[in-house]
A and B are shown apart, each in its own frame.
Chain A
Amino acid sequence: MALELVGIRKNYDRLEVLPPLDLSIVDGEFLTLLGPSGSGKTTVLRIIGGFARPSGGQLMFDETDITDLPANRRPFNTVFQDYALFPHMTVRDNVGYGPLVQRRDPARSARLVSETLAIVGLAAMEQRYPSQLSGGQRQRVALARAIVCEPKVILLDEPLAALDASLRRQMQLFLKDIQRQIKTTFVFVTHDQEEAITMSDRIAVMNGGRIEQLGSPRDLYFQPKTKFVATFFGDNNIVEGVLAPGAGEVDTPLGRLPIDRRGMPAIEGRCIVAVRPERMRIGGENGAAIAGQVAEVVFSGPMTRILVAPAAAPELRLDVRLSSDAGQPPPQVGERVTVVFDPSDAVVVPG
């Protein structure tokens, strides 16, 4: 275990921003803190970085307590959301700042800085000032500055938020690639779930200062444990219902839906059934079937989205995704159809 948060709390005056929170970050992993605005992601990151003092709890690194260690003596470096590049220093001086103030050997540092600039592809721009760089280039300087000191953990607070969509995807791959090369632990903050899925080894979904669920992107996607995760994480068909103890069916406004209880925690009473749109089909045999009428058909490239109004509850919409080149033409608006899914694809969480 490399980095461990034990019962970390944070209050601003009366306001409790983080209730006691536990989190273990494994050596060399890419861990993402994902959550809506105000859920406490930045706060956690600032506490790890040493920029905010926790109101309680302990921060352990390699079995030593570093809760009271000031930021400048922690072996962690941060890529700030607004990059925080020093405007009066060249790219090279920015990157060389860490080794300089840490009094590292100058000759070795110079070599290290050059190598790092080469890794991030900025060797040709080392004499420029931050104001002479594009957004993506500044981003790389910030990254180079953070990795040049060979920290044990790199903290990144929404580092891609300021970039446009295509540059953003490019930088996602780039970051992931760098992380593979230097094999350092990355703690990454974002509120973009797609970004989190693409990049992370593990994701901690945060809500109201709490970690709702911690797991691999696959786990979170296919086995959400809470309603929040089920709704926040990707598109989902969600319907509320009641589950009798031990029963294999849920009573919902859509009728009785069969579910597969194997591998599921013991739940009873009010619950929520969630089925991914791409796990639903139009027509077909075996499985849960819901009758309805096609309300809308939306072509979106590889997939075609079909919104179905169930006969039992016409105010709801079932979201079904079909492959656009499935061979047969998609159903027409107004057509009566049956939506079918496999009970083992239905996830039930407490409601």
Chain B
Amino acid sequence: MSSRGERIPEILAGFLTVLVLLVLYAPVLVSALFSVVTIQRGTILWETFSLSSYATLWSNSSVLQALANTAIVAIASAAAALLFGIALAFYTRSENAIGRRSIEVLIYLPFLLPPIVTGLSLLVTTSALGVGRGLFTVIIGHTIFVLAVAYRLVSTRLAALPPSLLEASADLGASRWQTLRYVLLPHLASSIVTGAILALTLSFDETLISTFVAGDQMTLPLRLWAMMRVGFTPEINALVTLVLITSIALALLAAWRLKPSWSEADSSD
């Protein structure tokens, strides 16, 4: 029941939406194209189509090393962030926990502040403490960065749990441990899975904090950055495409998990 007054703005906004989406996706599409064909003076040379650049990637040991590092960092920091996120969410759940608000502010801080601040503050600290920089410090940096997301998801879910459920469980004779095992964890399961996917996605892509604390280790984004300073090669494009496919897959997974109810229930007349 859109009236006449809304038709024209709607058409204009529609145009803009298409345009914006094209601009947002052009980088993705273009790099995917560059990775398999050569483009000269604006014409695509289809006969140059080849997947060879993908093949050479597999023999590039520095890329493989960076990939392995990224996987280690992503998994370790997601696991750590979830573990701490759950513990912190349990703590801040109780209204009269000491320092509840301050702890929350601290948790959200690294997510809200420019990553450069988080990165350099970790750099300064590790150096002052004499801790060597490497994968371990990258894991710490990523953990505190994604902690906010993990904590947020778990604590929201926890808040949705009626306290009477826990009382009922205790009333039925469950020990605290059993309540945790049979009531709380199943209730939190979905938020934990979503949190893990989001944490992996964020860590996979994290660049700004990593540059400060990686030392001589390389994660995939850092490797890419280093390669790009050298120049454009089909090999980079191939790697870029692989990275994009991975992050799109992760993003789709996250979107599917977070899919809100309004997309199904929607009145239309």
Which residues of A pack against B, CB within 8 Å?
12, 51-53, 70-72
Q: Would you call A70 and B3 a contact (CB within 8 A)?
A: yes
Residue of A whose beta carbon sits closest to that of B4: A70
Bound-complex Cα distance A51 to B1 (A) = 8
Q: Are A53 and B3 in contact (CB under 8 A)?
A: no
Q: How large is the interface on B (under 10, 10 to 19, 20 to 34, 35 or more residues)?
A: under 10
Q: Interface SS of chain B: helix, strand, loop or mixed?
A: loop
Bound together, the chains give a CA A55 to CA B1 distance in angstroms of 13
Nearest chain A residue, comparing its CB with the CB of B2: A70
Closest to A70 in B: B3
Enumerate chain A residues within 8 angstroms of B3, measured Cβ to Cβ.
70, 72
| Docked complex Cα distance between A12 and B269 (Å) | 9
Closest to A13 in B: B268
Q: How far is the CB of A18 from chain B (nearest CB, A)?
A: 13
Alpha-carbon gap, A143 to B112, bound state (A): 44
Contacts of B269 in A (CB 8 A): 12, 52-53
Residue of A nearest to B1 (CB): A53
Q: Mark B1-38, 1 if CB is under 8 A from A, else 0.
A: 10100000000000000000000000000000000000
Kindly state the separation between the CA atoms of A59 and B269 in the bound complex, as whole angstroms. 18
CB-nearest residue of chain A to B268? A12
Contacts of A72 in B (CB 8 A): 3
Q: In the assembled complex, how far is the CB of residue B159 from the closest CB belonging to chain A, in whole angstroms?
A: 21
A70 to B1, CA, bound (A): 9
- Chain A residues with CB under 8 Å of B1's CB are 51-53, 70-71
Q: Can you list 10 A-B contacts (CB < 8 A)?
A: A12-B269, A51-B1, A52-B1, A52-B269, A53-B1, A53-B269, A70-B1, A70-B3, A71-B1, A72-B3
B6 smallest CB distance to A (angstroms): 11
Distance in Å: Cβ of A290 to nearest Cβ of chain B: 51
In this complex, what residue of B is CB-closest to A72?
Answer: B3
Residues of B within 8 A of A12 (CB): 269
Known contacts A12-B269, A53-B269, A72-B3; 7 additional CB pairs below 8 A are: A51-B1, A52-B1, A52-B269, A53-B1, A70-B1, A70-B3, A71-B1
